[in-house]
Structure 1
Amino acid sequence: MTPRRELVALVGADLLSNLGSRISILAIPWLVLETTGSPAKMGVVAAAETLPYLLSSGLGPPLADRIGLRRTSIFADLGSAGLMVAVALTPWLGFGALLVLVALVGTLRGVGDRVKHVMFRPAAEAAGVRLIRLTSIYDGLSRLTTLLGASVGGLLIWWLGPTLAILVDAATFAVCALLISSLVRRSTGRPASSAPERYSRALAGGLRYLRQDRMVLTMLLVISALNMVVNASIAVYIPLWVADVLGSPAGLGVVLGAFAAGSLLGNVLFTSFGSRLRRDLTFAVGAAVSGPPRLLVLALSDDLVVVVLVTFASGIGIAVVNPLLGVALYERPPAELQSRVIGLAGALAFAGLPLGALLGGASVTTLGLEPALLTAALFIVIVTAVPLAAALRATRTEAPLVRASDRGRIST
């Protein structure tokens, strides 16, 4: 197995796991609706996986360092496969048991996802692939997987029913475990000769690093805020705008599809030209373009064409944000801290997702749609102004381009 094929197997396993998870995100609530008839319980079961996922993403990697990253990934995928089989085949256990099973799946997924991402760096370095190119390609493929997962999940539920759709997700986890165990040999973590580090000390080391690295912490806070607004837009703002202005759910797919299409184009452009760009300024501009414009256009325009064009441009902006955070997390932390830093970073970056839908609904209920959109836009303008101002200030004292030999570190 050549290093490049090993990298492809590792990335492929991660994307396959993501595809299966997107299927189950649709199939499990649908199974709940069929078995209980309760829309409220659909939301509860979706939340039951999200919170453990966030917690284990941050708290699990120090344990994975002790067990071994490759071994942890295999165990997490096998455990997830078994639990998903139980979810599909034992609905008679009751709703409480279903919540426990789904929460355990979320816990294992959070650890497994973070561990695979840590393994990307040694696999990429062995294959001679630049980290910025890997993170950009991965981000584009991940967004494509999200789009495909929603479509495939809907079709599988229609063709096979939710039970068999969930079993398909279980099969994807099993295949992931097989790919990692048979094709991926490279791992990272605590050297075998070193003494185990206390869990609390290991976790504190990751937290201490994030507090000290102001650049990475700023990027994480910006992305968490963007995730919050994106989720509020998907769950609340865009559906309400479509219902009020267009009166047809068809417009929902058009607006969301425009953002996805823009992000895919942005990934292609960034993969081709990203290494020539100054990273701090690129991140700041991308974050500023991806958030406020798409909110403002919903608040100020009733023209679908205008909304679609601005949303498409915002999608191009978001495409540079995650890859640049990814390469910073790979390049900046010391190797011995990388797994716990990436785990904590993932938990912080995704923390905005569950908050987004809640705050989006509360803001519309309290203020109305247009004031809520303007308030959210103002919030993101303030958040993204911090890295943008820092990048512009640094531009006056540094060269506009980062040389390829500079390891691509973003200036603080």
Structure 2
Amino acid sequence: MTPRRELVALVGADLLSNLGSRVSVVAIPWLVLETTGSPTKMGVVAAAETLPYLLSSALGPPLADRIGLRRTSILADVGSAGLMVAVALTPWLGFGALVALVAVVGTLRGVGDRIKHVMFRPVAEAAGVKLIRLTSVYDGLGRVVTLLGAGLGGLLIWWFGVTTAILIDAASFAVCALIVAALVRPPAATAAPPAAQGYLRALGDGFRYLGRDRTLLSMLLVISALNMVVNASIAVYIPLWVADVLGTPAGLGLVLGAFSAGALLGNLLFTVLGPRLRRDLTFAVGAAVSGPPRLLVLAFSEDLSVVLAVTFVSGIGIAVVNPLLGVALYERPPADLQTRVIGLAGSLAFAGLPLGALLGGWSVAALGLGPALVVAALFTLVVTALPLAAALRPPPLRGKEGPLVTVSGGEGVSS
């Protein structure tokens, strides 16, 4: 198989795995509703997958380095497939057993997803594909999968019933494992496990590197904050605005769809223009555009067309953020630390998600919708203004060597 086809196979396997995960997010809570009738237990089982996912993303990569990346990816997908079959076929085991099974699935998904992302770099380099183009295209395709996944989960339940829907989900993980096993062969230097190293020391090396790399750490903190506000918007702010102003749930789909449409257009533009843009400034501007404007327009406008237009532009802004973080994660850490750094980065970037809905609901209860939106916008503005100020600051002089040149389109992210 040619290197480019191998890259397509790896990206396709990862997207298929993500699609399966999105289907399970819908199907498993529905199974709980059918078997227990309890909305509270639906929330418990959803959280049972999310928390282990975040923890294993950070804590699992040192073990994957020892086992081997490709082997870990295959084992994670095979294990996910088998456990999803158990979830579908053994509801009689009880709610506690279901929570335990889902928690193990979340653990495997966290490791499997991070490891596939680590393999992107060597496979892309072997194929001669620029990392910035790969991360941009992947981000766009990932958004399409996210849009389709929940709807597909609902359709599968409607067409075949929840048990069959979960079995189809299990099959998607099995197919993913088969694709990686049959078609993906990372370069030997990356595929082989590194020299033996104690687990805690290996994990500590990843933490220490991330603590030293201020550029990467600041990018992750910005994205974590954006994820928190986005989750609050999806779960609380936007539904309340739609209910108060429009009085129909149809508006919810329009507002969320406008953001997704903007993000998809942004991905297309960034795929073409990305290699020629100054990365630090592009990241900072994209983050600033993606957050505060869409919150402020909800706070101060009741015109749906204005809200849709601003939300669409904010979607274009968010389209540059994840690809630039992806490039930084591939290019900045040393090869022997990359697995651990990417795992820790994934956990940190997603850490804001669980807090988002809780803080969104609390802020509206305490302040009201309009003031809560303004506070959230100001918080996001402060967080995103810091990297923007750093990007606009003149570079320091280095004696007689002249100014330190900021990297704008080459192989590194400027720091």
1:175 matched residue in structure 2: 175
> Per the alignment, in what secondary structure is the counterpart of residue 197 of structure 1?
coil
CA contact (8 A) 2:222 2:384 kept: yes
Deviation at 1:402, TM superposition (A): 2.4
Gaps of at least 5 residues in structure 2 are: 397-402
CA contact (8 A) 1:137 1:271 kept: yes
* 2:394 is equivalent to residue 391 of structure 1: no
Count of aligned positions: 409
CA contact (8 A) 2:68 2:191 kept: no
Q: Distance in 2 between matches of 1:286 and 1:20?
A: 29
1:410 matched residue in structure 2: 413
CA contact (8 A) 1:20 1:169 kept: yes
* 2:31 is equivalent to residue 31 of structure 1: yes
Q: Distance in 1 between matches of 2:384 and 2:82?
A: 42
> Per the alignment, in what secondary structure is the counterpart of residue 126 of structure 1?
helix
**Counterpart residue identity of residue 358, structure 1:** L
TM-score by length of 1: 0.97
1:239 matched residue in structure 2: 239
TM-score by length of 2: 0.96
2:400 matched residue in structure 1: none
Deviation at 1:4, TM superposition (A): 0.7
**Counterpart residue identity of residue 322, structure 2:** N
Gaps of at least 5 residues in structure 1 are: none
Deviation at 1:191, TM superposition (A): 7.9
Deviation at 1:160, TM superposition (A): 1.1
CA contact (8 A) 1:231 1:353 kept: yes
1:278 matched residue in structure 2: 278
1:151 matched residue in structure 2: 151
CA, structure 1 residues 375+37, in 2 after alignment: closer, same or farther (shift >3 Å)? same
CA contact (8 A) 1:68 1:187 kept: no
**Counterpart residue identity of residue 275, structure 2:** S
Deviation at 1:195, TM superposition (A): 3.2
1:319 matched residue in structure 2: 319
CA contact (8 A) 1:69 1:189 kept: no
1:68 matched residue in structure 2: 68
**Counterpart residue identity of residue 70, structure 1:** R
1:161 matched residue in structure 2: 161
**Counterpart residue identity of residue 285, structure 2:** V
CA, structure 1 residues 53+346, in 2 after alignment: closer, same or farther (shift >3 Å)? same
* 2:362 is equivalent to residue 362 of structure 1: yes
Instruction: Please say which of residues 124-133 and 356-365 is displaced more in the overlay.
Output: 356-365
2:399 matched residue in structure 1: none
Q: Distance in 1 between matches of 2:68 and 2:173?
A: 19
* 2:262 is equivalent to residue 262 of structure 1: yes
1:293 matched residue in structure 2: 293
Instruction: Please say which of residues 182-191 and 351-360 is displaced more in the overlay.
Output: 182-191
Q: Superposition RMSD on alpha carbons, in Å? A: 1.5
Q: Distance in 2 between matches of 1:195 and 1:133?
A: 32
Deviation at 1:394, TM superposition (A): 3.8
Q: Distance in 2 between matches of 1:131 and 1:184?
A: 18
2:106 matched residue in structure 1: 106
Q: Distance in 2 between matches of 1:398 and 1:304?
A: 47
CA, structure 1 residues 387+188, in 2 after alignment: closer, same or farther (shift >3 Å)? farther
Deviation at 1:393, TM superposition (A): 0.8
Deviation at 1:187, TM superposition (A): 5.4
Q: Distance in 1 between matches of 2:395 and 2:118?
A: 31
Deviation at 1:410, TM superposition (A): 2.1
CA contact (8 A) 2:263 2:315 kept: yes
**Counterpart residue identity of residue 260, structure 2:** A
Q: Distance in 1 between matches of 2:41 and 2:173?
A: 25
CA, structure 1 residues 81+204, in 2 after alignment: closer, same or farther (shift >3 Å)? same
2:91 matched residue in structure 1: 91
Q: For 1:36-94, what per-residue CA distance to the aligned partner results, in whole angstroms no more than 9, with x for missing partners? A: 11111111111110000000000000000000000000000000000001111111111
Q: Distance in 1 between matches of 2:281 and 2:64?
A: 35
CA, structure 1 residues 2+93, in 2 after alignment: closer, same or farther (shift >3 Å)? same
* 2:55 is equivalent to residue 49 of structure 1: no
1:217 matched residue in structure 2: 217
CA, structure 1 residues 370+194, in 2 after alignment: closer, same or farther (shift >3 Å)? closer
CA, structure 1 residues 192+35, in 2 after alignment: closer, same or farther (shift >3 Å)? closer
Q: Distance in 2 between matches of 1:338 and 1:115?
A: 10
Q: Distance in 1 between matches of 2:172 and 2:92?
A: 24
Deviation at 1:168, TM superposition (A): 1.1
Q: Distance in 1 between matches of 2:191 and 2:33?
A: 48
Q: How does 1:183-222 map to 2 (within 5 A)?
A: 183-186=183-186, 195-222=195-222
